[in-house]
Structure 1
Amino acid sequence: MTEPTQRAEADEAAEAAEVRRFWERLGLPGLVDVHTHFMPERVLHKVWEYFDALGPLTGGVEWPITYRREEAERAALLREFGVRAFTAMLYPHKAGMAQWLNSWAVDFARRTPDCLHTATLFPEPGVEAYVREAVEAGARVFKAHVQVGAYDPGDQLLDSAWGLLAEAGIPVVIHCGSGPAPGKHTGPEPVARVLARHPRLRLVVAHLGMPEYGDFLALAERYSEVRLDTTMAFTDFSERFAPFPHEELARLADLGDRVLLGTDFPNIPYPYVHQLHVLERLGLGDDWLRAVCHDNGARLFTLAG
C-alpha cells in the first residue's frame, strides 16, 4: 500500500469517526441522506469530467470531487459514516435515456439494500408507462433535474406522470432552483404550476431551492407535501455565490418537520462532515438537527427502527 493511499484511508477513518460522533451526540441511530449520487459508472465518470472541465452548469466555479472512488468503495464509506439510508440520484440529459437508467437502478437497488430504490423521468412520449413500471418495480424515490435536462417541469408530457407519483405518494427530489447556474426552466414559477395541478405531489426541493430560497420556502409553506433538502446549502463553498438570507432562518426553523438532510455525495468539493457542521452552526437546536438529519427522512420513507 502506497503512502498516499494509507494517508487517504487514515483521513477517511478520522472523518467517519467525526461523522459518527455528530449523530451519536444527538442520540440518533445514524443519518438518512436523501441526496447522494449513484449511477452507471461510465455516466458518473462523464459527470465528473463535466465538473473537472468547469462546464457551464457549474457556474464556472472550480469543483474538485472529494470522493472519486469506485462504486463499492463509495457505498462502504457511507456505511462507515453511519448513513442508514441513501439514494441513487440519477438523471437523464436527453430523451430516451431515463428508462435505461431506471433499469440499471433496479439492479443497483437489489444489490444495495440500504439504498432507497431511485428512478428518474424525462418529458417524452411513454414517460407515464415507464414511471408506472418503475413504481411497480419498487421505486421509493424519483429524481428530476430541471437544470441538466433543460425541460419545463410543467410540460404536458409529464402531467400524467406527476399525477401517478402524487397518487402513489412517492417523493421526487427535484433540482429546480437556479443554482449554481440558471437554466431556461429553473426557478419557482414552473414548479408552482406543477403544484397547482398536483398539490399532493411530494416534491423535495433540492439545495433548499438555491438561490431562490425564499420563494421555495413559500411553496413549502403553501403545500403541505413539499419538502426541501439541505444539499450544499450553508457550506462555505455555496455561501460564496448563493448565501442563505439570515432573515429566512426563522421560516426554515418553522418548517423543521419538512427539511431533509442531503449532501450531493460523492460530487462535493469538501468533506462530508462539513455539511453536518454547517447545519449545526445555524443554531436551530438539537431537536431541529435530529429531525433534519434522521427523523424526517425515516418517517417519509417509513424506515424501521
Structure 2
Amino acid sequence: MADGVGEVSEVDGDARVGEFWRRLGLPGLVDVHTHFMPERVMAKVWAYFDAAGPLLGRAWPIAYRYEEDQRLAVLRGFGVRAFTSMIYPHKPGMARWLNGWAAEFAARTPDCLRTATFFPEDGVADYVGGELAGGVRVFKAHVQVGGYDPADEALDAVWGALAEAGTPVVIHCGSGPAPGKHTGPDPIARVLARHPRLRLIIAHLGMPEYTEFLDLAERYRGVHLDTTMAFTDFAERSAPFPRAERARLRDLGDRVLFGSDFPNIPYGYLHALEVLERLELGDDWLRRVCYGNGARLFGL
C-alpha cells in the first residue's frame, strides 16, 4: 500500500463502489463510522495497529494509510455524502482538545458531521453541554479504549443531556476485537434503563455480542446499530454473525446504519458493502442501511 504520498491505489479508487449505490438508485452513501483525527493522534493509532496491540489481538494492516487530504479525496470518490470524524480519548484532559480539533475540521469539511467525544472526568457535563450548544451532530464513545464504565455516575448528567437533545452517540461497547473491563451489553443496559430515550448507535453491531445488542435494540427505540466491520471476511473468522439472527437484523432495518471504520480497515472499502449485499436481505434494506437511515437520523 502507499505510504501517504503519490497516486491512490487501484483498490482505493474502485469504481465498483459507485456502481453499488447507483444500482440501488441512491445519491451516494452515508458512512457513520469514519476516523479523522489530529495527525499526531492518527499516527499513534496507526502505530498501535502496526504493532497488533493487545486490544486488537491480531495483525491489522491499514488499507488507507494516506495524508488527510488524500483520505478525504478517496472517501468522496467513493460517493460518500456524509461521514464522521470519530475521535476518542483514553485519559482525562484529552476530550476537550480533541473536540476543539473536530470542530475546526468540520468547519473546513462541510460533508463531515461535526463530531465530539467525552470522558468521565471533572467538567465533562459542562463541555458536553457546550458542544451541544455549539451544533455538534454526533458523539463518539469508546468504552474499550477509554477503559471506563459507561454507567459511571460521572456520566449520568451527560447521558441525560444527550437523551434530552436527541443527539446520536456512536459507542464502541461490544467486546470485540478484545474484551475490556467494561465492555459487553450489561453496562449499556444499565445506562439505557436510566435514560431510555438515548439515541445510541452500537458500533460493529455490538461484535461479538450480536444477539444481546439486538435485544437492546428491540427493547429501546433509540438504539441503532452500525455495520462497521461486521460480516467481512476479516471479522467473520473470529466473530461470525449468527445466521439465525439475520431475520432480526432485517426487521430492525430502519435502525441499522452503514459504517466502515475508514481508513483503519485491513481490506478494500468495497468489501464492506458487498458483504451487506451477501446477506440477501433485499435492496430496500440496503437502501435504508447505506443511505436512508443515516440521512433521516442526521437530517441530511
TM-score, reference length from structure 2 = 0.97
Match of 1:226 in 2: 223
1:154 CA drift (Å):
0.2
Q: Report % sequence identity.
A: 72
Change (3 A) 1:6 1:47: closer
Of the three residues 21, 24, 27, the one matched with 1:23 is: 21
Tell me, yes or no, if structure 1 residue 278 matches structure 2 residue 256: no
Partner of 1:184: 181
1:57 is matched with 55
Find the partner of 1:174 among 171, 174, 190.
171
Residue 251 (structure 1) aligned with residue 252 (structure 2): no
Contact persistence 1:37–1:265 (CA under 8 A): yes
Give 5+ residue unaligned stretches, structure 1.
none
Residue 225 of structure 2 aligns with an amino acid whose one-letter code is: L
* Match of residue 199 from structure 1: 196
Alpha-carbon deviation of 1:12? 2.9
Aligned residues: 298
- TM superposition shift of 1:138: 1.1
Q: Which amino acid aligns with 1:279?
A: L
Distance 2:6 2:55 in 1: 35
Distance 1:148 1:9 in 2: 31
Aligned to 2:91: 94
Cα deviation, residue 137, structure 1: 1.5
Counterpart Cα distance in 2 of 1:270 and 1:39:
20
Deviation at 1:10, TM superposition (A): 4.0
Aligned to 2:39: 41
Q: In 1, Cα distance between the equivalents of 2:162 and 2:273?
A: 30
Q: Structure 1 residues 282 and 114 mapped into 2: Cα distance closer, same or farther (>3 Å)? A: same
CA offset digits 1:249-268 (Å, max 9, x no partner) = 00000000000000000000
- Per-residue CA distance 1:53-74 (angstroms, 9 max, x = gap): 0100002x11000000011111
**Counterpart residue number, 1:162:** 159
Partner of 1:153: 150
Whether the aligned pair in 2 keeps the contact of 1:176 and 1:188 (CA below 8 Å) is yes
Relative to structure 1, the CA distance from residue 299 to residue 186 in structure 2 (aligned partners, 3 Å threshold; closer, same or farther) is same
User: Residue 7 of structure 1: CA displacement?
Assistant: 7.1
Per-residue CA shift, 1:163-216, capped at 9, x if unaligned? 101100100000000000000000000000000000000000000000000000
Please say if residues 153 and 191 of structure 1, whose CA atoms lie closer than 8 Å, have aligned partners that are also in contact: yes
- Secondary structure class of the residue paired with 2:189: helix
1:129-185 superposed Cα distances (whole Å, 9 cap, x missing partner): 000111112110000000000000000000001110110010000000000000000
Match in the other structure for 2:79: 82
Q: Residue in 1 aligned with 2:123?
A: 126
| Cα distance in 1, alignment partners of residues 79 and 7 from structure 2 | 21
Which aligned runs of 4 or more in structure 1 are off by greater than 6 angstroms?
none
More helix by share: 1
Aligned to 1:73: 70
* Residue identity in the other structure for 2:51: A
Given that 2:12 and 2:268 are in contact with CA atoms closer than 8 Å, whether structure 1 keeps it comes out as no
Q: Structure 2: which amino acid aligns with 1:28?
A: L
Q: Distance in 2 between matches of 1:227 and 1:12?
A: 28
Q: Distance in 2 between matches of 1:136 and 1:12?
A: 37
Partner of 1:263: 260
- In the alignment, is the contact (CA less than 8 A) between 1:106 and 1:137 conserved in 2? no
SS of the residue 1:90 aligns to? coil
Residue 124 of structure 2 contacts residue 158 of structure 2 at CA under 8 Å; is this kept in 1?
Answer: yes
Structure 2 counterpart of 1:194, one-letter code: V
Q: Cα distance, 1:9 vs. partner?
A: 3.8
Give structure 2 stretches of 5+ with no counterpart. none
- How many Å separate the matches in 1 of 2:290 and 2:273? 8
TM-score by length of 1: 0.96
Deviations 1:109-148 (A, max 9, x none): 1000000000000001100000011111211000000000
